[in-house]
Amino acid sequence: MIWAIAAVGIAALVDWAAVAANNERVETFAKTAVMLGLVVAVVASGDLGTVEVLLIAALTMSLLGDVLLLPQVDEFVGGLGAFLIGHIFYAFTFLAVGIDLAWSVLGAAITIAAITLVGRRIVEGATLRDETLGRAVLGYILVISFMVTLGTGVGVLVAVGAILFAASDSVLGWNRFVSPLAHGRLATHVPYHLGQGLIVLGVLSR
């Protein structure tokens, strides 16, 4: 499994460099390689039980979301749907691992604060473009908030990973619906990959 994690790290670095250089061709392959590498890491971890199968399902939906959000594809609604399903699979993964309710309460407080400060603005921006899109974005935010709430109850690695995942989505949403951010795409990719990697490491090391 170590070699798979190392390969994921290299692919992530290549992806970040490609995004910074606006090299869409390299980004297409590197971004895909990161998620495929994480799937391989889970498969290589040993026997595949319920937790591992759920984790692979979450990663696979994230991979689909990545493809749909590539600049040359730009299917935002499809990507939103794929990641939403992925977060649901992550939620089931965390429940299968087992959670500490006290820490999850803290996670709930963090997500409520984030929705109040950031999520509300993103929903408002999406709604100005299209009311249906605004409702879809709100639904997505609620689902990822539930995922973060459960993730904070699993352990430190998963908690940090889930928060970084949500931070990445917040940057993406802000950049798209509120105001363009300097290096916004890079600021989306870096915490996204770190978050996904930490979630996988945290779940597998349970």
Task: Specify the residue for token string 């995004």.
Answer: 19
DSSP per residue, 83-113: HHHHHHHHHHHHHHH---HHHHHHHHHHHHH
DSSP per residue, 56-78: HHHHHHHHHHHHHHSTTT--HHH
Q: What pLDDT digit, counting tens, does each position of 182-206 carry? A: 899 999 999 999 999 999 999 998 8
**Is 70 exceeded by the pLDDT of residue 1?**
no
Please give, one letter per residue, the 3-state secondary structure of 108-126. HHHHHHHHHHHHHHHHHHH
**Is 80 exceeded by the pLDDT of residue 103?**
yes
Contact 101, 131 (CB under 8 A): no
**Is 90 exceeded by the pLDDT of residue 102?**
no
Packed helices 120-129 and 131-151: angle between N→C axes, nearest 10 degrees: 160
